[in-house]
Amino acid sequence: MTSLDIVIPVYNEEDVLPLLFKELDLTFNAEALEKHGLETPHYIFVDDGSKDQSKRIIREAIDGGLNASLLSLTRNFGHQSAVTAGLSLSRAQITALIDSDLQDPPQVILEMVDKWRQGYEVIYGVRRQRKEGKIKVFCYWFFYRILSFLSEVDIAKDSGDFCLIDQKVVSTMNKLPEKLRFPRGLRAWVGYKQWGA
Ligand code: UDP
Ligand code: MG
């Protein structure tokens, strides 16, 4: 059985958190865990200085039996710092990163686990469609093309943080000394066998 940590950054997500818990519960049901050879996942929620009830909601879920830890940041440090903080606590054989706003479907993590079993060490989720307006969608599209043009590292286009990475990759990323980090870039930079790039 493979241990799986799921790092989830949270900033003012009180409305969506109950839905997220439900969705995670449905996705990682006993049958799916058995089929994909997984232990019950351990969630690492990182509250990035939320001003709403997010923290309380997560704490209550943990008190109610959710297999999770809550790392509570002292202020809003930003998405990428929250991800970095969550990764620093991750010890499982594989770690998934997923946004808390349900824009990344948790079921895809199971497919990523299958890819990991085929030998890949970094597996990306790529957004093929976006719900945002046309201008924002264009800006996202443009950002990844500019990034790709400027960067010597081959960073997967249209992939956010949603991914599954092997403990080796987590451990390498955690050792990097950068203070101002762009984990999506570092994840591509560290090497290893990457899928989806
Ligand atoms: N988030 C965070 N800190 C922030 C902003 C966002 O931890 O300062 C979290 C947010 O709750 C979500 C994820 O990071 O789970 C992605 O944020 P957002 O949905 O704003 O990013 P986008 O979907 O636009 O890439
Ligand atoms: Mg989002």
More confident residue, 93 or 191: 93
With 80 as the cut, is the pLDDT of residue 63 above it? yes
- Tell me the mean pLDDT in the region 149-154: 75
Three-class secondary structure assignment of 118-162: CCCCEEECCCCCCCCCHHHHHHHHHHHHHHHHHCCCCCCCCCCCC
With 90 as the cut, is the pLDDT of residue 135 above it? no
Please return the burial class of 157, using the count of CB atoms within 10 Å of its CB with bins 0-12, 13-18 and 19+: middle
What pLDDT digit, counting tens, does each position of 3-36 carry?
Answer: 999 999 999 999 999 999 999 999 999 999 999 9
**Residue with CA nearest ligand 1 atom 16:** 99
What pLDDT digit, counting tens, does each position of 81-130 carry?
Answer: 999 999 999 999 999 999 999 999 999 999 999 999 999 999 998 766 76
State the average pLDDT for the chain: 91
In sequence order, what are the residues at sequence separation of 6 or more whose Cβ sits closer than 8 angstroms to the Cβ of residue 9?
A: 46, 48, 79, 82, 83, 86, 99, 100, 161
User: Which residue, chain included where needed, has tokens 């990759």?
Assistant: 169
pTM above 0.75, yes or no: yes
**Residue with CA nearest ligand 1 atom 8:** 78
Instruction: Give the model's pLDDT for residue 197.
Output: 54
Q: Which atom of ligand 1 is nearest to the CA of 76?
A: 8
**Residue with CA nearest ligand 1 atom 12:** 99
104: nearest Cα among 83, 77, 90, 81: 83
- CA–centroid distance, 110 to ligand 2, in Å, is 21
11 CB within 6 A, ligand 1: yes
Q: C-alpha angle with apex 16: 10 to 17, nearest 5 degrees?
A: 60
